[in-house]
Amino acid sequence: MFLLFTAGIIEPSTRGNKTLSVVLGAAMAASLLSGCGGASKPADATTAAPAAETTAAPAADTTAAPEADTEAPAADAASSDDLIVVGYAQVGAESDWRTANTESFKSTFTEENGYKLIFDDAQQKQENQIKAIRSFIQQDVDYIVVAPVVETGWEAVLQEAQEAGIPVILSDRMMDVDESLYECWVGGNFIKEGEDAGNWLAKYLEDQGRGDEEINIVTLQGTIGASAQVGRTDGFANILAQHSNWKMLDKQTGEFTQAKGQEVMESFLKSYDDIDVVVAENDNMAFGAIDAIKAAGKTCGPDGDIIIFSFDAVKAAFDAMIAGDLNAAFECNPLHGPRVDEIIKKLEKGETVEKIQYVDEAYFDTSMDLEAIKAERAY
């Protein structure tokens, strides 16, 4: 198969030749093996040939009478060859945000839109994602999209993809690798999200007349090492450092899940009697924290004992704000599918793309018309 690369971009004219190249390669390999005199190899080649004939013959006999039927399979094959094959290695299904993110890809990368999507759920395990990427390489997909579990440990498998001539696009989370190993990254500005949350808290406390009070904070962190966790933790820490009266009592991972978020919050409540603020690095951990706070006989939200805010801003977070349990939610837009579609179409045309591509994001709190905003949202 002849592949042309310019800055890691596959020329579109090569995809239609993949099947032909494989067939010709197989024929040449069989010829060479026969010439080498290997006794068992010609037997394999002989076995393979009748298999192909056996499959073809009945089909020809069955459809020989109507000429239209004979042509239809050829048209179908051409149509199939024209599809852009995308292998998508997703983190898992740990949150409402992740479900929306997955659906964004599945609804975008359809046959109607010119794609064949091969989807893999890694169940929060890096080894599963690496296995999936290697499977995509073996299947000779046109593009690989990865939402990595963590940032490190990807060099070897990305090198394999590069050697196979398959461009890699990162979604949601970053990888700590040489930039030459991937085409681009699509996602939220996690550091800015953390800083926006810190600035919101400062203004909220000021508006409540608590700007000079000592404020005790705990953080439910995401999966340690994930880009969202690192960025949100660091961004909020940048603002924390500007307020000498803010104290971070504790921070532990809730692994981005509601169950673990509840478990860690229960532990915080047993260890600290004076928690003023809970930072939950995604919505689902906030939901778990709210359950733990209520079970402990405390209250949270705008009229409660504890201020709590989260990241992602899925519809369930709007419900929690409307119910008065959650103070604010900072958006992490999960609809990456259309943006990745745009990127692939540009690469197919031989165009270059920006290395870092942030999606649009906002924040929401209980001072807003949340019912109206929620009604207009897709997630």
Q: pLDDT tens digits for 350-367?
A: 999 999 999 989 999 999
CATH fold match for the domains 83-188+334-348 and 190-332+363-376? yes
Q: Are 86 and 143 in contact (CB under 8 A)?
A: yes
pLDDT tier at 379, thresholds 50, 70, 90: confident
Closest CA to 161 of 149, 176, 146: 146
Ordered by start, the domain boundaries in the chain are: 5-79, 83-188+334-348, 190-332+363-376
pLDDT tier at 376, thresholds 50, 70, 90: very high
Classify domain 83-188+334-348 by CATH number. 3.40.50.2300
- Give mean pLDDT, residues 257-273: 98
Give the span between the Cα atoms of 340 and 353, in whole angstroms.
Answer: 11
Average pLDDT over the chain, rounded to an integer: 84
Cβ neighbours for 11, distance < 8 A, ≥ 6 positions apart:
3, 4, 5, 350
Q: Is pLDDT of 187 > 70?
A: yes
pLDDT the model gives residue 305: 96
pLDDT tens-digit map of 49-80: 333 333 333 333 333 333 333 333 334 433 66
- Give mean pLDDT, residues 252-280: 98
CA 260 to chain centre: 21
Which residues are paired to 364 by β-bridges?
A: 329
- Give mean pLDDT, residues 171-193: 96
Alpha carbon separation from 205 to 102, 200, 213, 245 (Å, rounded): 36, 9, 9, 12
Q: Are 162 and 138 in contact (CB under 8 A)?
A: no
Question: Any idea how long the chain is?
Answer: 379
Q: The sheet that has 363-365: what strands, in order across it?
A: 246-253, 215-221, 277-280, 307-312, 328-331, 363-365
Q: Is 4 helix (H, G, I), strand (E, B) or coil?
A: coil
pLDDT the model gives residue 79: 60
pLDDT the model gives residue 24: 34
Q: Is pLDDT of 374 > 90?
A: yes
- Give mean pLDDT, residues 25-51: 35
First to last CA, the chain: 42
- Give mean pLDDT, residues 119-139: 97
Burial class (CB in 10 A: 0-12, 13-18, 19+), 32: exposed
Q: Is 314 helix (H, G, I), strand (E, B) or coil?
A: coil
- Looking at per-residue pLDDT, the higher value among 307 and 360 belongs to 307
Q: Are 273 and 292 in contact (CB under 8 A)?
A: no
Q: Where are the beta strands (DSSP E) in the chain?
A: 5-6, 9-10, 84-90, 115-121, 143-146, 168-171, 184-187, 215-221, 246-253, 277-280, 307-312, 328-331, 356-358, 363-365
- Assigned token pair, 52: 């192909």
C-alpha dihedral sign at 43, 45, 47, 53 = negative
- Give mean pLDDT, residues 262-287: 98
- Assigned token pair, 326: 């959650």
- Looking at per-residue pLDDT, the higher value among 91 and 60 belongs to 91
DSSP at 113: G
- Give mean pLDDT, residues 161-175: 96
Which is the CATH superfamily of the domain at 190-332+363-376? Answer: Response regulator (3.40.50.2300)
- Give mean pLDDT, residues 27-37: 36
Q: Is pLDDT of 47 > 50?
A: no
Q: Is pLDDT of 161 > 80?
A: yes
- Give mean pLDDT, residues 250-266: 98
- Give mean pLDDT, residues 27-48: 35
Residue 19: in which H helix or E strand, if any? helix 18-36
pLDDT tier at 7, thresholds 50, 70, 90: very low
Least confident stretch, 62-66, 256-260, 268-272, 323-327: 62-66
Q: Is pLDDT of 29 > 70?
A: no
Give the span between the Cα atoms of 103 and 322, in whole angstroms.
Answer: 25
Q: Is 311 helix (H, G, I), strand (E, B) or coil?
A: strand
Closest CA to 198 of 242, 245, 262: 242
pTM of the model: 0.70
